[in-house]
Amino acid sequence: MRRDLGTRSGLTVGAAGAGCWAIGGPWEFDGRPAGWGAVDDEESIRAIRRGLDLGVTLFDTADVYGCGHSERVLGEALAGRRDEAVISTKFGLRFDEATRSGAGADASPGYVRQACEASLRRLGTDRIDVYQLHAGAEDRAAAEAVVEVLEALVAEGKIRFYGTADETLEIVEAFAAGPHCVSVQQQLNVFGGNDAAIELCEEHGLAAIARSPLAMGLLTGKYRPGGAMPAGDDVRRDTPHWDYFDDDAFPTWSARVDAIRAALTSDGRTLAQGALAWIWARSPAAIPIPGFRTVAQIEENAIACDAGPLEPGAMAAVDAALGRVAPGR
């Protein structure tokens, strides 16, 4: 199964992409752990190449992941196979490769250009397929200034297309007006997402790249009350962005997983595969980018494409179990 990377790009990609945050290894941002713990680079490279073999073609990373390390690993894995992949990376968060730490944001024209050149070097490529704003544009006017720089980079052949990973609606609207904008990255999983941003994507022909499609691993079924949890140096245990694994919130989230398990695993899917299938059924513009650290994980995600979107009955069962009305009803 494949999906258009928006209607403007002319590109199609495997319906399941691959998120490359975890393969960046340990790093810190604003004094907090920002990585997913230790990682085996050779396993990461094997996983990326196996993903290509199975039809995974969209690889989403960011310059800040591992403070450059994720981009370097991805570039090494794609050496000799670059034309088989669509690389999306991000800019806007400041970091230091030597200390593997970062803080602050910058989307000024000079910094965007500097970041682009650095990403091209680390990735070992002559062009970035989708260059995304990570942070640093505080309002619509600032976003429009970023779009102007990105259009210049398109004209220079440094990037092919661009998008925003800041799903603030005024930022999305500013980017959507850009001729070479093709995507909006946003948090989206079976527990919910930014419905207004998805609607804008559908209206403007943009891909809705779904980050955290497996709720940071919660929807893999790996974590259960009383069992092993992510390590203390894992970003999932100390972040203001999610509370899935907070001690006081985890039992509630786990109960929600149990409530939707039967619907998501219908037709023989694993829990994770069902969670991806829910996203495909949620919007024709949606392309999930589940993270991975092993060959087995990327295989499970890629194989999910074979069964396609979740059936309407299962979608309704999920909504009923979570006590909500489906979007658009």
Residue listed under structure tokens 């591992």: 66
Cα separation, 125 vs 75, in Å, equals 7
> 88-126 burial string, b = 16+ CB within 10 Å, else e?
bbbbbbbbebeebbbeebebeeebbbebbeebbebbebe
| Active-site choice (65, 131, 162, 244) | 65
Q: Which CATH superfamily is domain 2-218+284-308 in?
A: NADP-dependent oxidoreductase domain (3.20.20.100)
> Would you say residue 329 has pLDDT above 60?
no
**For position 148, what pLDDT does the model report?**
98
pLDDT band at 124 (very low <50, low <70, confident <90, very high): very high
Question: Helix or strand or coil: residue 237?
Answer: helix
> Would you say residue 328 has pLDDT above 50?
no
Per-residue pLDDT of 12-60, as tens digits, reads 999 999 999 999 999 999 999 999 999 999 999 999 999 999 999 999 9
Q: Residue range 130-140: average pLDDT?
A: 97
Ranges of beta strands (E only) in the chain are 2-4, 12-14, 18-19, 28-29, 32-33, 58-60, 86-91, 93-96, 101-105, 128-133, 159-164, 181-189, 192-193, 207-211, 286-288
pLDDT > 70 in the chain, percent: 99
Residue listed under structure tokens 């006590």: 323
Known active-site residue 65: yes
Burial of residue 14, with CB atoms counted within 10 A of its CB: 0-12 exposed, 13-18 middle, 19 or more buried = buried
Q: Residue range 56-77: average pLDDT?
A: 98
**For position 202, what pLDDT does the model report?**
98
Question: Helix or strand or coil: residue 66?
Answer: coil
pLDDT band at 327 (very low <50, low <70, confident <90, very high): low
In whole numbers, what is the pLDDT of the chain averaged over residues? 96
pTM of the model: 0.97
Between 195-204 and 169-176, two packed helices, what is the crossing angle to 10 degrees?
A: 10
**For position 291, what pLDDT does the model report?**
97
Q: Bridge partners of 286?
A: 208
Give the sign of the dihedral formed by CA 128, CA 132, CA 136, CA 139: positive
Burial of residue 203, with CB atoms counted within 10 A of its CB: 0-12 exposed, 13-18 middle, 19 or more buried = exposed
Are 201 and 229 a contacting pair, CB within 8 Å?
Answer: no
> Would you say residue 285 has pLDDT above 50?
yes
Q: Residue range 173-187: average pLDDT?
A: 98
pLDDT band at 233 (very low <50, low <70, confident <90, very high): confident
